[in-house]
Structure 1
Amino acid sequence: MGKYFGTSGIREVVNEKLTPELALSVGRALGTYLETGTVVVGMDTRTSGEMLKRALISGLLSVGIDVIDIGLAPTPLTGFAIKLYGAGAGVTITASHNPPQYNGIKVWQANGMAYTPEMEDKLEAILESGNFKKAPWNELGTLRKADPREEYIGKALEMVHLDNPYTVVIDSGNGAGSVVSPYLQRELGNKVISLNSHPSGFFVRELEPNAKSLSMLAKTVKAIKADVGIAHDGDADRIGVVDDEGNFVEYEVMLSLIAGYMLRKFGKGKIVTTVDAGFALDDYVRPLGGEVIRTRVGDVAVAEELAKHGGVFGGEPSGTWIMPKWNLTPDGIFAGALVLEMIDRLGPLSELAKEVPRYVTLRKKIPCPNEKKAKAMEIIAREALKTFDYKRLIDIDGVRIENGDWWILFRPSGTEPIMRITLEAHTEEKAKELMEEAERLVRGAIARA
């Protein structure tokens, strides 16, 4: 992580670290890095979006880069528009699931994949140097506006088909999904009820789509006897799902179900997930011809592995899903269409969810100053290997040790001064025993770091 770019682009409080001046400089740096070509720019619904978008566009134009402004647009639409218009890159002005005082800048490659940490490092170096290209007056970039929503929905309808209509409740969280997600569901032939779909930038619920933030969606699904509830975060790159009985379907369960459905739809192959995903996924997809590969946390790591292995599906246990046959941009809106197709083919979600194995997952955050993280991780890696009787070690992002019926992940947070412990076991008793041991080890390592 650099001075500006974190685990998911730049994300800061508006007019503190994230100012129009910084957005202008990022535009100039990106233009200097690209040298020529076209960039698609979209934004989520935050009140600061227009201010930051215009500053970023000014920076791009000053370098001689052409810009296609797609206005209010979820991240998946930016990723789609890059390919549709043959652009060299895309930018979303978004802070995803962060509170409304935040905003951010996330950059996408020509293939729809997010910029890798290496690419962000190069942007950062140009930003730091202030050595921006300047185009003469007659070679400045041109700006045009476009709306790719119709093409996006049309293309989605070529890939997803329903035999029956369903009643769907969509909770867009007052985010950018509001302008696409309910419309796609309607075009699929469904009856759509929208919640929180006025894109005001004032969020009436916490944006991360989890059981707590989606209580109103769950109540609505139950009250009107809908078939499913679908929710998004601020830029709709994620999906949260409520089943036909009004229960939030846990992320891990949903990840397993959709991975299994992708194998049924597109054939056997590799499923990419992150080191914090549980064994339920492996156990559920193995009989369907799926092989699970784990990588670093973050959508760009998942997209890179998918591209490398030609995977069928990639997803994180946070509702971030990538469907490579569609795009390498995480897409909660297209994901919603696939959930409906899965229900159409396989039956009600409440029944499907029962087929996914349930294990005991425990998570803990332990305070750890950022400057101690590296040393603490060294000690944890050394001690964990002695303390636990494990069969497999994965150290691509933190340290994950596995045995046949349990696993533990020790990982420093990329955004907060904490150390995370995530573990899974077949029984409550075993999970608690492992957590006690793991917590003692981490606290000791931080104290010694």
Structure 2
Amino acid sequence: MTRKLFGTDGVRGRANEHPMTAEIAMKLGQAAGRRFLRGRHRHRVVIGKDTRLSGYMIESALTAGFVSVGMDVFLLGPAPTPAVGMLTKSLRADAGVMISASHNPFHDNGIKLFGPDGFKLSDKVEAEIEAMMERPIALADAADLGRAKRIDDALGRYIEAAKATFPRHLRLDGLRVVLDCANGAAYKTAPAVLWELGAEVIKIGVEPNGLNINAGVGSTAPDLCRRTVVETGAHLGVALDGDADRVHIIDEKGEIVDGDQIMALIAERWLQSRRLAGGTLVATVMSNLGLERHLAARGVRLLRTRVGDRYVVEAMREGGFNLGGEQSGHIVMTDHASTGDGLLAALQVLAAVAEEGRPASEVCARFSPLPQVLRNVRYAPGAAPLDAAEVRRAIAAAEARLAGAGRVLIRKSGTEPLIRVMAEGEDPALVEAVVAEICAAVEDAAA
């Protein structure tokens, strides 16, 4: 069963254009609601969103869809994606929904679905929901319609759960932290957690207006956070994305610490404390080869998956592992959360800085990454540049040149019309050259 509507992380697109219309959202709510009706209890769904203007439209349409098939709707308002996963399970809901396009600009939006266990849905279940949307959906009788209400204490529940992941014997007193919330979903929760744990918090990206999410702030635009860390003499910076499921750490020198270094830090600390399940870190094919070599030298296995934190989580659950993530800053710790959580990952880093008493630049520099180059090539909708013979030849030539000293990874974005070209290896000039050659071939084929 194939999926056409769902991509690598739910449904996503430009707001008020297919597929991100009120009509599709209502139909999706009806199909997902019907899919998760089970037993004879009052069924409920938790819905959260980030701060995009279009969130009001999508939230209302989804609510109408769920209510029409007999589900009660619990509205969280702006809340991080991991909070939706947590609250879906803790409120014994039958499903959960996050309305967000993550790190994309405000004019995009998306819908992510969670099962009753708080985890994102599998490809199989998403395909089942898509198939249901193509058929007439049975609606509830008038007396069996669902109800909708806002949950006033939702953010407080998440704040307390986040604080509980921080080591009890530690505090953040004396640490000055720049916190960039990307004008997104964590603009209330993240500052509260860090302040209540004792940190001096310098806040940026906490004034959402519906149009400024990820606009010059957040993990995908970290320059303001970097400058603020240096200018204020902060010990480190924390840059979240629009829905707060990913993070970049900024050290005291203003340098970015990516997800690979964060995963290495947590993996080593958990290995030492015998918390690392199966001695394994799960990461995607995008993680640096230097991370793999570094962990192997310490007896930790790196298990790679396809790109997408959902696939990382699936591999973690199948293997019984409790730590995984992506180079982009999605860090998944299933002891604490069902999906990537940028704030919880930042708390792990802050715990290391507080406990070791060393600068963040020293604590977070776990390995020397191999030179890696990633470039995106945009193509017209409907084009298939990866099928072109000249592109296949360029990729084969690059793989031959890097054989034994690096690797090449070419893939289509699951959310945008982009071909992502990545190469890494021991020779930086060679890496640059092979990426340039592949990109040129893709651009020619996409013209």
- Fold-level similarity (TM above 0.5): yes
**Contact kept in structure 2, 1:99 and 1:207, CA below 8 Å:** no
Match of 1:292 among 298, 302, 316: 302
SS of 2:376's partner is: strand
Shift of 1:227: 1.1
Q: Deviations over 1:122-154 (max 9, x none)?
A: 11111122x112111222223332232223222
Partner of 1:420: 420
- Write the mapping of 1:195-234 to structure 2, written as runs, cut at 5 A: 195-203=204-212, 205-206=214-215, 209-210=218-219, 213-234=221-242
What is the letter of the counterpart of residue 87 of structure 2? A
In structure 2, relative to structure 1, the CA distance for the partners of 1:435 and 1:87 (3 Å cut) is same
Partner of 2:280: 270
In structure 2, relative to structure 1, the CA distance for the partners of 1:257 and 1:280 (3 Å cut) is farther
Shift of 1:403: 4.7
Match of 1:332 among 310, 319, 342: 342
SS of 1:202's partner is: coil
Match of 1:349 among 352, 355, 360: 360
Q: Deviations over 1:98-139 (max 9, x none)?
A: 11122221111222221222222111111122x112111222
Partner of 1:27: 29
Give the RMSD, CA atoms, in angstroms. 2.7
Shift of 1:316: 0.9
In structure 2, relative to structure 1, the CA distance for the partners of 1:198 and 1:262 (3 Å cut) is farther
Any gaps of 5 or more consecutive residues in structure 2?
Answer: none
Q: Aligned pairs, how many?
A: 434
Are 2:319 and 1:309 equivalent residues in the alignment? yes
Any gaps of 5 or more consecutive residues in structure 1?
Answer: 391-401
Shift of 1:91: 0.2
Moved more, 350-359 or 99-108: 350-359
SS of 2:128's partner is: helix
Identity of aligned residues (%): 33
Shift of 1:207: 6.6
In structure 2, relative to structure 1, the CA distance for the partners of 1:255 and 1:124 (3 Å cut) is same
Partner of 1:397: none
- Structure 2 CA distance, aligned partners of 1:425 and 1:246? 26
- Structure 2 CA distance, aligned partners of 1:2 and 1:190? 45
In structure 2, relative to structure 1, the CA distance for the partners of 1:172 and 1:163 (3 Å cut) is closer
Shift of 1:339: 1.7
- Structure 1 CA distance, aligned partners of 2:15 and 2:438? 38
**Contact kept in structure 1, 2:391 and 2:442, CA below 8 Å:** yes
- Write the mapping of 1:228-247 to structure 2, written as runs, cut at 5 A: 228-247=236-255
Moved more, 252-261 or 267-276: 252-261
- Structure 1 CA distance, aligned partners of 2:211 and 2:99? 16
Q: Normalised by the size of structure 2, how large is the TM-score?
A: 0.88
Partner of 2:125: 119
- Structure 2 CA distance, aligned partners of 1:234 and 1:117? 24
Partner of 2:146: 141
Are 2:61 and 1:59 equivalent residues in the alignment? no
Q: Deviations over 1:335-389 (max 9, x none)?
A: 2211211212333221134441132111233455565538628986788568744
- Structure 1 CA distance, aligned partners of 2:388 and 2:416? 15
Partner of 1:398: none
Moved more, 147-156 or 318-327: 147-156
Match of 2:268 among 249, 260, 263: 260
In structure 2, relative to structure 1, the CA distance for the partners of 1:372 and 1:260 (3 Å cut) is farther
Q: Normalised by the size of structure 1, how large is the TM-score?
A: 0.88
- Structure 2 CA distance, aligned partners of 1:54 and 1:19? 11
SS of 1:176's partner is: coil
- Structure 1 CA distance, aligned partners of 2:425 and 2:224? 32
In structure 2, relative to structure 1, the CA distance for the partners of 1:441 and 1:33 (3 Å cut) is same
Shift of 1:81: 0.3
- Structure 1 CA distance, aligned partners of 2:48 and 2:180? 21
SS of 1:343's partner is: helix
- Structure 1 CA distance, aligned partners of 2:56 and 2:192? 24
Shift of 1:233: 1.2
Q: Deviations over 1:242-272 (max 9, x none)?
A: 1112222244333433343343452362111
In structure 2, relative to structure 1, the CA distance for the partners of 1:379 and 1:33 (3 Å cut) is farther
